[in-house]
Amino acid sequence: MTSIIAEDVLLLGYDEKTGRPTMSAIGLKAGLAGAVLAELAIRGRVSLSGEGVVVADPTPVGEPELDAALERIAAEAKVRKPEWWIDKLDGDALRQRLLVRLVERGVLSEAKSKILGLFKTVKYPELDGSVERAVRQKVESVLAGAEPDPRTAVVIGVLHAAKALDKQFPGADDARVKEITEGDWAGEGVKQAIAAVEAAMMMILTTVVIVTAVS
């Protein structure tokens, strides 16, 4: 079992054999940060709404990544919207830290090589595939109709918002996905975190388009 939801998303976002990402860089960036924000919400540490992210309980969770994010949110002078935080929590740096953690725990291996003998590249094939399989089986079960839990709902919602759910789980029913991510049981924190991932992705994509056009 992984420690945090973001690790679930990361494992599903990498190919177990090649050790390369199967999600877009933008999807991983927004998805991992969104998963952290959503987990803080379902653990009762922050409240999320359209107005912004507010610390509801500053007590540390006892998990380094979650506690670091909670501390940053608590230290911010202004109330910021969820998509602002998804950008500031820096999913790119988070991805590298989580990869290192999963290697240290023996879930992933680290394969370093060079392209054309010059450019360094690192791949992360699975060493212990049972962890990712357990996450995948849980998601498949919920998509098939099992009672969802908040953790699995966040995974499904984040993958859906990051445009990666169909690739990871081909044939996932759109109506079922909507029921999982927007149902009354999910709670406002889960809904807002998923919406924030979608908003953050749109913001990132818009920035990329503008920069490309200017260039």
* Structural domains in the chain, sorted by start: 5-214 (1.10.3630.10)
What pLDDT is stored for residue 213 in this prediction? 42
Which tens digits make up the pLDDT trace of 21-49?
999 888 898 889 989 998 998 898 998 87
What pLDDT is stored for residue 184 in this prediction? 63
**121: β partners:** 113
Say if CB 120 and CB 67 are below 8 A apart. no
Which tens digits make up the pLDDT trace of 154-180?
899 889 888 899 999 998 999 999 888
Residue-by-residue DSSP string for 20-51? -BSS-HHHHHHHHHHHHHHHHHHTTSEEE-SS
Which tens digits make up the pLDDT trace of 48-105?
876 789 999 999 999 999 999 999 999 999 999 888 888 899 889 999 999 999 999 9
Quote the pTM value.
0.88
